[in-house]
Structure 1
Amino acid sequence: MNGGLYRSTHAADGNPRPEEGVTVVSVDQQSATATGDQALPPENLPPSGRDGGGSTAGQSAIMAIGSMVSRVIGFVRTALIGMAVGTTVGDAYTSAQFLPNQIYELLLGGILSSVLVPLLVRRRKSDPDGGQAFTQKLLTFAVVSLGVATVLVVSLASAITAIQTGGDSTPAYRELVTHFAYLILPIIFFTGLSGLAGAVLNVRGHFAAPMWAPILNNIVVIATCGVFILCYGGQKELTPENITGAQVALIGGGTLLGIVVQALGLLPALRKVGFRWRWSWDPRSLGLREIGQLAGWMLVYAGANQLAVFLVVRILSDVTGSADSASILAFNYVFLLTMMAHGIVGVSVMTALLPKMSAAAAEGRFGEVSADLTRGIKLTSAALAPIVVVYAVLSAPIAVFLFQGGRFSNANALATGTVLAVAAFAVIPLSISYLCTYAFYALQGNKTVALINVAVVAVRIGAYFTLAAVLKESLLAAGMTAGNAISYLLSALISLTVLRRRIGRLNLGTVLSSLIRVAVAAGIAAALGLLVLRLLPGDGEPAGRIEALVQLVPTGAVILIGYLVAATLLRVQEVSQVVGMVRRKIGR
C-alpha cells in the first residue's frame, strides 16, 4: 500500500492504486483522437497484442490474476503495518505516505494515463522509428522533472507536514510524521519511474510486468514488517515519544526500498521488448504546449481530489492518539475495502462497456450510449448490493479478522468496523459516479468531468468540516466517510442530469425500478444476516479472529443466498446476468 486515500479517476483500478502504486494502461488506435477537451482513459484502449504481448484474452487473464494477487498481498501488507507499529505511530506513517501519493498524482498520475500514453501511441504510429526517439526525449525530460520535484519536496518536508498535521497534534507526533516523510517522499521519483516504464511497456503490448511488479513492492514491505515485529514485537506500546530512530529508519526505509525494487523489477521487461533508455535532452521537440493543454483539465480534476485528501488527513490528525477514535490508519483500511468492491465489480463493468460507448458516441448513436450506461448502472448496483450488505452487517467481524493483531488492538479493530459500516453506503454511489465519468470520456468530455468534480469536491470538503464540528471524536472518521458517500451520490446525480441534456433520454425510470427491487432484496438479505448474527457468539463484536470467522462464514453465506433468492423472486434480471458473467470468467 502506497498510502493514498484518493487518486484520480484513472487511479481507481488498473492504474496507480493506493495499495500498489503503478500505472497499468492499454492502448490502440483510438488514443490518437485525443483533443484539448479529451484525454482518453486507458480502459478505452484495449490491448491488441500486436507488439508481441500475446492475445488480449491471455493478457487479460494475466492482469486479472496479478491484480487479485496484488490486492491480497496488499491487504497483508496493510494489516502488518498496524500490527507492527500500532495506531498512533501507524497514523504518522500513513500520513507521511499520503504526501508522495498526493504530489505524484498532481505531477504525473492522471496525466500519465490520460495524456502521455495516447501521445506515445500516436508517435509510435506516425514516426518512422516507431516513436523511439520521442520516447527517449520524453523519458529524459520526465526523469529530470521528477528528480527536481522530488528534491524540492523533500527539502520542504518539514513545512508540508506541519501544515498537514495541524496545530492540535502533539509536537512529537508532527516530528515523527516529518521523520517518516524524509524517508518516504523520495517515493515520488521511483513511483514516476515505475509509471513511465509501465507506460512504455503497455504501449508495446506488454501488460504482465506492470501488473505484477507491485507485488515485489508489497513483499519487501511485508518482510520489513516481519523484521520489525521480530526485533521489536515484545516492546511496550509504541508512541511518537518512545519510538527510536532505528525503528523509524527500518519502517520508512523498507517502504522506500519496496518502491525502488518495484521500479527495478520492470527493467528486464523493458529489455525484453527491445527498449533501452538513453539520455536525450531536447524538451523543445516534445511539444510541451500541447501536452500542457491536454493535461490542464486532468490537473484541475486531480488538484481538487488531492485538496480533499489533504484536508481529511488534517482533520483526522487532530484526534490521532485519542483512545476512542478511529485513526487515519483505520480510515485508510476502510477506503481500501471500498475500492476493492468497486474494483472487482464496477471497473469490470466499465471496462466492458466503455469501448462500445465510445464507438457509439463517435458515430452519434447516443441512444446506444444511453442504453449501455443504464445497463451498466443496473448491473453494477445488482452486483454490489450483497457486498454492501456484508460490509454493513459484518463490518466489525471483517475489521477484526483482517486487521486485529499485534499493536492493533480489538478496540482499534471495532472502531474500524464502525467506519466500514458507514462506508458500505458509499460503494454503489461511488461506482455509479465512475460509470457516469466514463460515459463523459466516451463523449470526449474531460472538461465537463473536471468541472463537475470541482463542485462535488467543494461539497465534500463542506461536509467534512460540518461533520467534524457536530460529531464527537469517536465518530469523526465515520463522519469523513459519510462525507465521501454524500459527494459520490451528488456526483452521480449531477452527472446523470448533465448526460441527459447531452445525449437525451437515459431510461431512468427502468433504472429506478431496478434499484428499488435491488434495495428490497438487499434489505431482506440484511434482515436475515442480522438475525443469524444475533444467534452466534459475540453478538456481532468478536473478541478475536476465530470468533470473527465464526460470525463471518455462516452470516455471509446466509446474506448471499438470501439476496440471490430474493432478487430472483423480485425478477432482478441483472443478477442472473452477473452470475453468468462470473461463471464464464471462472471457466475462462
Structure 2
Amino acid sequence: MSRVLRASAVMMAGTMVSRLTGFLRTAVIAAAIGTWALGDAYNAAYQIPYILFDLLIGGVLSSVIVPMIVRAQKRDADAGKAFEQRLMTLAILILSVIAVLGVLLAGPIMQLYTADNWTPRKVEIATTLAMLILPQIAFFGIGALAGAILNTRDRFAAPMWAPVLNNIVVIGVGIAYIVIGGASANIEEVTDRDLVLLGLGTTAGIVAQAIILIIALHRAGFRFRPRFGLRDTGLGEAAKTASWTFVYVGITQLGFLVTTKLATGAGEQAPGMGNSAYAYAFQLFQLPYGIIAVSVITAMLPRMSRYVADGEFGSAREEFGSAVRLISSVIVPAGMLLMVLGPAVTTLIFSWGRMTGGNALYIGNVLQVFGLALVPFSIFQLLLRVFYSFGDTRTPTILGGLNVLINAALSLVAYFMLPPRYIVIGLAFSFMIAYVLGSGVAWALASRKVGGLGGRDVFSGLSQMYTAAIPAALIALLALWLTRQFADITALTSAIMLAAGGGFGVVLYLATAHRMRIPEVSSIIGLVAGRVRR
C-alpha cells in the first residue's frame, strides 16, 4: 500500500491543484454566462469534444493502449520506441481528421445532443460555440496519448499538472468575457465577438495543456519521427482488442446522450434547473474522485498489466486491494461530507455574477445526491482496470451496457414522473443506483478473473472508514444547523459552514480513523507529516 501511496503522491498534489483551479474556472464561467439559455448552450457545446474523444480515442487509451505499450516495452528490442512513434503518427492523423469532420458536422451533432424544445436561436448559438470548440479534439487527444506514454515510463507529474494551465487560460477567458465590451448572459444579446472569445478561448486552454505534455514527453526521452508501417507492430492486435472498447464507449455515450437530452429538456421546463445544473454538480462530484482515485488508478494500471503479463496474479490482487482501500480512505468521508455540505459548497462557488442564490442552491441539492454515488462510482472504475490489465475489453462492455440500461431506464422514469424542478435531482439518483448495482456485478466477475479480490478485507476496511466518517458528518450537520439558525445560506455563511463543518469534520475523521488503526489513513498522515518535517 505504501508503494501505491508513494507513486500516487505527486499525482495527488498536481490533481488537487488542477481540480481546485478547475473549481475556480467553473465558478468564473458560471458567473459570466449563468445557467440559463446561454449557459446550457455553452455547456452542451463544451461537452461535445470530450464525448467524441471518449467515443473514438479515450476509452482505447485507458483500456488497450497503456497495457500494449507496456508489453511493447518488454517485448521489442528497442524497448517499444518504434511502436510509440507509430502510435503517435496514427493518432495525429486520425485526430486531425476527426477535428475537421467535427467542425463540418457541428450542426447535426448539436441537434443530436440538445432538447427538441430548444429555440432556433439557442441551437444556433450552441452550434457556433461547438464549431469553435471542436478543434480542441486533436490537441486533447495528442496530449492524452503523450500522457499515457509518460505514465508507462512512471512519469506521472506532467499529466496531472498540465490541466492547471488549461484552467488558468479559461479563467482568463471568463474574466475577459465579464469585463470586456459588456458581454451578456442573455442569449438574445450575445454577439459573434462574445462567442469567439468563449469558444476559441476554451480551445486555447486545451492547446496550452497539450504543449506542456509534449514538452514533458520530449524531456522523458521520446523523439517523434513519423512512422507509417503497421505490419508486425501489434497495432492490428490493438485494433482487434479495441473493437470491444469502441462498443463500450458507444454504449456509455448513448447513456450520456439520454441523460443530456433529459437534462436539457428539464431546463426548458424549469429554467436554471437543467443541463448546466447537472454538468456543474457532476464536475464538483468528480473533484475527490479526480484527486485520489484517478491518481491511484493511473499508477495502478501499468503495474497490474506487468504483473498479469508475468503471471503474478497474487501481486495483481495485492495491487488492487491496496488501491481500493487507499481510494476509499479519502472518498468515503468526502462522499458523506458532500451529502451534508453540498449546498454550502455550490453557494460559495456559484452565487456570483449572473448566477443567483437559488441557482447555486439547486446545484448543491444535485451534488448531495451525487455524493451518494462517489464510492460505488470509484470502485466501479477500479474494477474495470482489472479486466483491462488482462487485455479483456469484452467484459467491461457488457458491464457498461448493464450500467447504461439501468441508468437510462431510471432516468426516463424520473423525467416523466417527477415535477420539472426535481428531474435533474432524479437523474443524479438514477446515476447512483446504476453504479451501486454495476459495482456489485463487476466485483463478482473481476474476482473470478483474478482468483479473488480479498473482498472480506476490503469490505471490513470500508466498514471501519464509514464508522470513522460518521462523527465527521455529524459535525458538518451541526455546523449547518447552527448557521441556519441565525442566517440564510449566502456565500459568507457557506464559507463559515465549510470552515467549521468541513474543516473540523476532516480533522475529526483523520483522528478517529488513526485511533481505529485504519492503516491507509495512518499512512497518509505519516506521508504528510514526513513532508512537513522536511
The 5-angstrom pairing of residues 564-575 of structure 1 reads 571=516, 573-574=517-518
Query: Following TM superposition, by how much is the alpha carbon of 1:350 offset from its aligned partner in structure 2, in angstroms?
Result: 5.0
For 1:431, the equivalent position in structure 2 comes to 378
Give the one of 105, 112, 121 matched to 1:156. Answer: 105
- Partner SS state of residue 406, structure 1: coil
Per-residue CA distance 1:461-500 (angstroms, 9 max, x = gap) = 1111111111122122211111111111011111222245
Range with greater deviation from structure 2 (365-374 or 182-191): 365-374
For 1:559, the equivalent position in structure 2 comes to 505
For 1:76, the equivalent position in structure 2 comes to 24
For 1:316, the equivalent position in structure 2 comes to 263
For 1:446, the equivalent position in structure 2 comes to 393
For 1:481, the equivalent position in structure 2 comes to 428
Q: Which amino acid in structure 1 is aligned with residue 200 of structure 2?
A: G
Range with greater deviation from structure 2 (497-506 or 85-94): 497-506
Query: Following TM superposition, by how much is the alpha carbon of 1:199 offset from its aligned partner in structure 2, in angstroms?
Result: 4.0
Alpha-carbon distance change, 581 to 359 in structure 1, aligned in 2, over 3 angstroms = farther
For 1:16, the equivalent position in structure 2 comes to none
The 5-angstrom pairing of residues 204-283 of structure 1 reads 206-232=155-181, 238-273=185-220, 275-283=222-230
Query: Following TM superposition, by how much is the alpha carbon of 1:447 offset from its aligned partner in structure 2, in angstroms?
Result: 2.4
The 5-angstrom pairing of residues 400-415 of structure 1 reads 400-415=347-362
Give the one of 96, 116, 123 matched to 1:167. Answer: 116
Q: Would you say the 8 A contact 1:87–1:329 is kept in 2? A: yes
Q: Which amino acid in structure 2 is aligned with residue 389 of structure 1?
A: M
Give the one of 523, 526, 529 matched to 1:580. Answer: 523
Q: Would you say the 8 A contact 1:184–1:252 is kept in 2? A: yes
Equivalents in 2 of 1:62, 1:172: separation in Å? 46
Q: Which amino acid in structure 1 is aligned with residue 523 of structure 2?
A: G
- Partner SS state of residue 266, structure 2: coil
For 1:66, the equivalent position in structure 2 comes to 14
Give the one of 49, 52, 60 matched to 1:100. Answer: 49
Equivalents in 1 of 2:68, 2:330: separation in Å? 36
**Larger proportion of helix:** 2
- Partner SS state of residue 394, structure 1: helix
Query: Following TM superposition, by how much is the alpha carbon of 1:255 offset from its aligned partner in structure 2, in angstroms?
Result: 0.8
For 2:89, the equivalent position in structure 1 comes to 140
Q: Which amino acid in structure 1 is aligned with residue 375 of structure 2?
A: I
Alpha-carbon distance change, 198 to 67 in structure 1, aligned in 2, over 3 angstroms = same
Which sections of structure 2, spanning at least 5 residues, go unmatched? none
- Partner SS state of residue 337, structure 2: helix
Query: Following TM superposition, by how much is the alpha carbon of 1:176 offset from its aligned partner in structure 2, in angstroms?
Result: 1.2
Equivalents in 2 of 1:361, 1:270: separation in Å? 26
Equivalents in 2 of 1:198, 1:372: separation in Å? 22
Range with greater deviation from structure 2 (199-208 or 94-103): 199-208
Per-residue CA distance 1:366-414 (angstroms, 9 max, x = gap) = 6776676566555544543322221111111111112221112211110
Alpha-carbon distance change, 321 to 412 in structure 1, aligned in 2, over 3 angstroms = farther
Q: Would you say the 8 A contact 2:376–2:439 is kept in 1? A: yes
Alpha-carbon distance change, 382 to 538 in structure 1, aligned in 2, over 3 angstroms = same
Q: Which amino acid in structure 1 is aligned with residue 107 of structure 2?
A: S
Which sections of structure 1, spanning at least 5 residues, go unmatched? 1-44, 47-55
Per-residue CA distance 1:274-304 (angstroms, 9 max, x = gap) = 5453444445575553221121222222222
Q: Which amino acid in structure 2 is aligned with residue 142 of structure 1?
A: A
Equivalents in 2 of 1:101, 1:518: separation in Å? 34
Equivalents in 1 of 2:337, 2:325: separation in Å? 19
* Aligned sequence identity (%): 36
Alpha-carbon distance change, 539 to 90 in structure 1, aligned in 2, over 3 angstroms = farther
Q: Which amino acid in structure 1 is aligned with residue 165 of structure 2?
A: L
Q: Which amino acid in structure 2 is aligned with residue 559 of structure 1?
A: G
Query: Following TM superposition, by how much is the alpha carbon of 1:555 offset from its aligned partner in structure 2, in angstroms?
Result: 1.8
Give the one of 230, 251, 257 matched to 1:304. Answer: 251
Q: Would you say the 8 A contact 2:487–2:493 is kept in 1? A: no
Range with greater deviation from structure 2 (238-247 or 131-140): 131-140
Q: Would you say the 8 A contact 1:396–1:540 is kept in 2? A: no
For 2:416, the equivalent position in structure 1 comes to 469
Equivalents in 1 of 2:94, 2:81: separation in Å? 20
Query: Following TM superposition, by how much is the alpha carbon of 1:182 offset from its aligned partner in structure 2, in angstroms?
Result: 0.7
For 2:406, the equivalent position in structure 1 comes to 459
TM-score, normalization: structure 1?
0.80
- Partner SS state of residue 489, structure 1: helix
Equivalents in 2 of 1:370, 1:204: separation in Å? 22
Equivalents in 1 of 2:408, 2:331: separation in Å? 26
Q: Would you say the 8 A contact 2:132–2:199 is kept in 1? A: yes
- Partner SS state of residue 318, structure 1: helix
Equivalents in 1 of 2:143, 2:458: separation in Å? 41
Range with greater deviation from structure 2 (289-298 or 342-351): 342-351
Alpha-carbon distance change, 375 to 105 in structure 1, aligned in 2, over 3 angstroms = closer
Alpha-carbon distance change, 249 to 295 in structure 1, aligned in 2, over 3 angstroms = same
Query: Following TM superposition, by how much is the alpha carbon of 1:124 offset from its aligned partner in structure 2, in angstroms?
Result: 5.0
Equivalents in 2 of 1:97, 1:106: separation in Å? 15
Alpha-carbon distance change, 116 to 328 in structure 1, aligned in 2, over 3 angstroms = same
* Correspondence 1:182 to 2:131: yes
- Partner SS state of residue 180, structure 2: helix
Q: Would you say the 8 A contact 1:325–1:476 is kept in 2? A: no
TM-score, normalization: structure 2?
0.87
- Partner SS state of residue 87, structure 1: coil
Aligned residue-pair number:
528
* Correspondence 1:535 to 2:482: yes
For 1:116, the equivalent position in structure 2 comes to 65
Alpha-carbon distance change, 561 to 242 in structure 1, aligned in 2, over 3 angstroms = same
Equivalents in 2 of 1:410, 1:568: separation in Å? 38
Per-residue CA distance 1:493-542 (angstroms, 9 max, x = gap) = 11222245445666655655555555455444434432332222567851
Equivalents in 2 of 1:368, 1:274: separation in Å? 29
Q: Which amino acid in structure 2 is aligned with residue 580 of structure 1?
A: S
Equivalents in 2 of 1:304, 1:436: separation in Å? 18
